[in-house]
A and B are shown apart, each in its own frame.
Chain A
């Protein structure tokens, strides 16, 4: 695939901005992967029974090793007096930390009700930090639905950590965004083979491994939804390396090349490091792309991964994008992907789900990427769908996963074809 820009990309396409019913998760959902990634962290949501029920339901299956997340459920008496709510919170945190001495990082996570009653979790975190330092570091962020959509929860969490990272004058490379361990290892191995280092990652597995940050730090994002974290790092003097996101062979190459250029990696060294995995990715994508080529795709807004993924499906798998919906369009981050995405699709931001359903019915795409609440109803109407949440819960970044990523989109089409054949006989 060529990295040449299409003669006309989507950056200048006017964005269809919609406000109406949004069929999306709130930012609390990010806890489901963050608590597995940070192995000495506990996420304490201060919220309602709805928050607890969401976490339980969104996990799909209950992860029944005692989870490192929980909900401090607000009750009638907590709403009556905030002073009491603070005392109750301190008591619950004390109990929790006494029972789980392995916890070194505690995140107080704000929710819709805690925001509305203006329970000041920043103050609470400060107070609890004094009580439990140095053993436990207490952070706070909001995962509330009134402020965050789905993956923005991870953004808020990481952004909350940035101001507390230790300063450094070293020229470190910082990789930002939670990835499955296997993918993170692949990423670090590729960059190390190019002689780039030291490399640090945020979030780290443990509190002791947290990266340092300063004016000589350069950072690259592996997820397109990290706008606030991006801003927080810039405030610490770090510099962002803009690049398309590392989905698919082309995205991975462009992302790695941007970093390699920053660190002055010789072109032949770069090519020799990526040659084998890049060839494997091309081969793996080709197998899946045969089923995707010429098919159309429609994205409902979900994770903010939509624009980079549309770029991958259009350029590497030969699909046509009809509409690419995203809950929030951060041009500073997805600009390079917009440049590569050929003009044509409607780019929409926000949602009015009923109107969007009208559009998907009118467009009748071959594949619809949407949330769990919409997938079965659309299937029942005859549409092939891909649940968007799987794109966040599955290793999909970089070369070795590029074929799997294409496979996530081709499988629903293949399945539909198999079942249709059966129905015909």
Chain B
């Protein structure tokens, strides 16, 4: 038994729902109690889907348990077939139905439906959402895809995109576009967008592109074995990774990896002098292993941040993540307990978090800006505009979305130079975030005249709202901040104060000091100067 407040992943049957909902012509009959239908709203509300997920829940109740839940399942499956006429069906159990052991696979088979019925065995008490999606897609591919003659032109399949995935919709479009630059067209993109009939013709492709190892790797391995299709190992997120990916595809196909890069802006945006201030900014990265690993490479080599910590919530991918962490000389954190992640971030005091919606909340509490790079998703992660993560346009999108939460370069200098200014104080926050300027409470100036034209009705920006939570001095019990030093610390702009505090305390501890004076603060600053 493990006490959990918030979770990074849902149960495995939600992963199966992500596969079914991404597909067309597929139906999922799920043996589950009433209440499990909440999962529909993930798709209809968070992703704003305009159709119900193609899922029939048996919604058994307590009174059914004494009776015949098996017949309830059979009736539901038969009704679902009659009503929706799918090309194929997947059947399985949620956590509760797993306990009553009705064997949905066997029951469905006994119905003798005239379509392929694929049983799923997803152990709810051991595994989680990503496993559920990966396993479901694998079972579908295993049941439906056959070796077949290759297409005349070079084609590939795109594997792993699902409903409710982080930017999957746009990544599929972008990678399709990227491959077309090499002269390769897409045979089938699956599961998202594919029908069972499409799955059946996946064997025609010359190779597979594994977009998301978390949800597509088992299928990729199967197709390699069963249909002799090699698959790509590099996920094209970031400029370097996209170029490497093109070379990998070139090696598989013999086509040239040289493509038109005129739409790629990240390298120049990063090289232009305005971005100098990004140099060595300390970032912490957490999410699914694939997005974290690719983000670390972009952060370290394409934007010039310093990766101070990284981790993932999906234990299945701990090994590649550990290897990546080693390259940046950081200790990886593999956990699905967000309290551990929060403690790690609080300890490291990064200047930017690249994380999930959970880390965005952690950042809010700790006063650290955050850009979202990975699932679990939130309604904000389904923008109306085109915003892929993969390919060259993905790199452009990433530059913008990571830089936006930070205070801008010149503004950072002004805040440092004029930190005594009543408008440049901490609570003012970053000027481009749209919050209204909040005047500092001046003891000697209790009233403040709102400048003409300033709209006070504008809603407070989330950054402005989080400022009061910034911990300024938390006595650690080991070192004591003298009042002068504490006052001096408060003069340091909020976006570097956490780092200054941490460095000073470490400096003091390393030297066996029990008190921190103004001198200690500046000695530490000189010591850690970069």
Contact = CB atoms under 8 A, between A and B. Distances in A.
Interface of A: 20-29, 44, 46, 48-50, 52-54, 56-58, 60, 62, 64, 66-67, 69-76, 78-79, 85, 88-89, 91-92, 95-96, 112-113, 115-117, 144-147, 149, 354, 371-377, 379-380
A44 B5 CA distance: 10
B52 A24 contact: no
Most buried by A among B34, B57, B62, B365: B34
B2 A75 contact: yes
B35 A112 contact: yes
A380 B50 contact: yes
B506 interface: no
A27 B38 CA distance: 12
6 contacts: A53-B7, A53-B39, A71-B4, A116-B96, A144-B35, A146-B65
A50 B11 contact: yes
B94 A22 contact: no
Contact of A58 (B1, B38, B126): B38
Contacts of B40: 23, 372-374
A375 B99 contact: no
Contacts of A57: 10, 38-39, 41-42, 46
Contacts of A92: 1-3
Given A92-B3, A96-B3, A376-B50, 12 more contacts: A22-B37, A24-B34, A50-B94, A50-B96, A53-B14, A54-B38, A58-B41, A73-B4, A91-B1, A145-B35, A372-B44, A380-B50
Contacts of A380: 50-51
B61 A146 contact: yes
B193 to A, nearest CB: 18
A377 B124 contact: no
A297 B463 CA distance: 41
B330 interface: no
B253 interface: no
Interface of B: 1-7, 9-11, 13-14, 33-42, 44-46, 48-52, 56-62, 64-65, 76, 79, 83, 94-96, 99-100, 123-126, 128, 357-358, 361, 364-365
Given A146-B61, A147-B61, A377-B52, A24 B37 contact: yes
Contacts of B62: 115, 144, 146-147
Contacts of B49: 376-377
Contact of B5 (A46, A66, A75, A115): A66
A374 B52 contact: yes
Q: Could you say which of B41, B59, B361 has the most chain A C-beta atoms within 10 Å of its C-beta?
A: B41
Given A50-B94, A145-B33, A70 B4 contact: yes
A92 B3 CA distance: 7
B246 to A, nearest CB: 38
A146 B41 contact: no
Contacts of B44: 372-377
B43 to A, nearest CB: 8
A145 B36 contact: yes
Nearest to B62: A146
Contacts of A52: 4, 6-7
A62 B35 contact: no
Residue among B33, B36, B46, B60 with the highest chain A CB neighbour number at 10 A: B33
Contacts of A78: 1, 125
B83 A75 contact: no
A66 B357 CA distance: 15
Nearest to B124: A48
Contacts of B5: 66-67, 69-71
Which residue, of B38, B48, B76, B361, has the highest number of chain A Cβ atoms within 10 A? B38
Given A52-B4, A58-B38, A149-B34, A116 B65 contact: yes
Contact of A88 (B1, B33, B126): B1
Nearest to A92: B3
Contact of A28 (B35, B50, B57, B124): B35
A89 B34 contact: no
A376 B39 CA distance: 14
Nearest to A75: B125
Nearest to B40: A373
8 nearest A-B residue pairs (beta carbon): A26-B35, A145-B35, A373-B40, A380-B50, A112-B96, A88-B1, A372-B41, A48-B95
A354 B38 contact: no
A64 B342 CA distance: 12
B4 A377 contact: no
Given A62-B6, A380-B50, A373 B37 contact: yes
A117 B99 contact: yes
Contacts of B3: 44, 70-73, 92, 95-96
B99 A26 contact: no
Contacts of B38: 25-26, 29, 54, 57-58, 373
Given A48-B124, A49-B128, A145-B33, A75 B57 contact: no
Contacts of A27: 35
Contact of B1 (A66, A85, A147): A85
Contacts of A29: 38
Contact of A146 (B14, B33, B37, B52): B33
Contacts of A79: 99, 125
A53 B15 CA distance: 12
B33 A144 contact: yes
Contact of B10 (A50, A62, A116): A50
A64 B95 contact: no
B1 A146 contact: no
Which residue among A26, A57, A91 has the maximum number of chain B CB atoms within 10 Å of its CB?
Answer: A57
A83 B59 CA distance: 30
Nearest to A84: B1
A92 B83 CA distance: 46
A70 B52 CA distance: 29
B6 A56 contact: yes
A218 to B, nearest CB: 33
Contacts of A22: 34, 37, 59
A254 B103 CA distance: 53
Given A50-B11, A146-B34, A377-B44, A73 B2 contact: yes
A376 B7 contact: no
Contacts of A96: 3
B99 A49 contact: no
Nearest to B365: A64
A48 B1 contact: no
B58 A48 contact: no
B37 A49 contact: no
Residue from the set B1, B40, B61 with the largest chain A CB neighbour count within 10 Å: B1
Contacts of A69: 5
B10 A49 contact: yes
A373 B41 contact: yes
A400 to B, nearest CB: 23
A146 B60 contact: yes
A72 B41 contact: no
Nearest to B57: A21
Nearest to A95: B3
Given A92-B1, A112-B95, A354-B83, A21 B76 contact: yes
B299 to A, nearest CB: 25
A76 B1 CA distance: 9
B1 to A, nearest CB: 4
A416 to B, nearest CB: 15
A37 to B, nearest CB: 19
Given A64-B361, A373-B37, A76 B126 contact: yes
A145 B123 CA distance: 20
Given A21-B59, A76-B126, A146-B60, A116 B4 contact: no
A44 B3 CA distance: 9
B94 to A, nearest CB: 6
A380 B35 CA distance: 24
Given A21-B58, A377-B51, A73 B36 contact: no
A377 B49 CA distance: 7
